[in-house]
Amino acid sequence: MPKVVSRSAVSSSTDARPTASSTAALRVYYCICGEFILVIDKSLTALPRRQTDGATVIRCQDTPEAKARVFKLNATPKDPILIERQGGHEKQYRFHCPRCALPVAYQTTPPPAKSGPYLYILKGALSQLQGQVPPDAFEDEKLLSDNTIA
């Protein structure tokens, strides 16, 4: 019986320039319960915040002024809720963690995710470290407890 010999060669060059895809780092975010929720091409701390509620704004669609973010949301859509705002009301289509059902994001257009111009990540809902509570998760709780009369 003939002998089978296989050979493989690995080639690398220290002179090669890094490609755009090799330098682009994806950021992964988790729910407080540890479930994977979001992978995105930019850190959430580098994205703008919404003035009304402090939610992180993720652009979903390209415009002449800016490009959409590249991201994947792993969350379950739920029934919309009506939020009272200073100038009236806002209908939010919420997305919840598939494991613990904690609300993690919303948009102002009906599901699926990315169907509207923006997706908003709720303040304190996601962490970059699995199983760790984000530092801003209880920020509003401290404000409420400071204003409470005993």
Helix (H, G, I), strand (E, B) or coil at 144: helix
Q: What is the pLDDT of residue 109?
A: 95
pLDDT in tens, 93-104: 999 999 999 999
**85-94: long-range contacts (C-beta < 8 A, 24 or more apart)?**
85/52, 86/52, 90/52
50-72: pLDDT as tens digits: 999 999 999 999 999 999 999 99
DSSP state of 122: P
Q: What is the pTM of this model?
A: 0.77
pLDDT value at 128 more than 60: yes
